[in-house]
Amino acid sequence: MKGPLSFQIFLSWGLLSQWILYTYATNKCTVMQEVADCSHLKLTHIPDDLPTNIKVLNLTHNQLKGLPPANFTRYSQLIVLDGGFNSVSKLEP
């Protein structure tokens, strides 16, 4: 029974690494169509690996200390930025 077992291990490892890769690559933000929900993730940095065509970015309930505009330049189609419930002490233009 060596064959099927090693195949199973191979398969589950494949799924696991895919899952790790997926959650890591997307920063655990949930991206649905053009809405990225990054709320409740204890983020200290603005995610820079989201699709560039998102229109809504939800950054509520994180630990962001600032929302520097430079960090949003890649999201040129952003219309709504929800940055409530963070530790933002000053807001830049």
User: Can you give the binding site for ligand NAG, defined by CB under 6 A?
Assistant: 39, 45-46, 56, 58, 60, 64, 66, 68, 71, 80, 82
Cβ count near 62 (within 10 Å): 23
Which lies closer to ligand NAG via its Cβ, residue 26 or residue 39?
39
Which lies closer to ligand NAG via its Cβ, residue 34 or residue 82?
82
**Least CB distance to ligand NAG at residue 51 (A):** 16
Question: What is the DSSP annotation of 23-63?
Answer: HHHTTT-EEETTEEE-TTS--SS--S-S-TT-SEEE--SS-
**Least CB distance to ligand NAG at residue 43 (A):** 8
Which lies closer to ligand NAG via its Cβ, residue 15 or residue 25?
25
For residues 78 and 75, what is the distance between their CA atoms, to the nearest angstrom?
A: 6
Which lies closer to ligand NAG via its Cβ, residue 13 or residue 45?
45
**Least CB distance to ligand NAG at residue 93 (A):** 15
Q: What is the CA radius of gyration of the chain?
A: 18
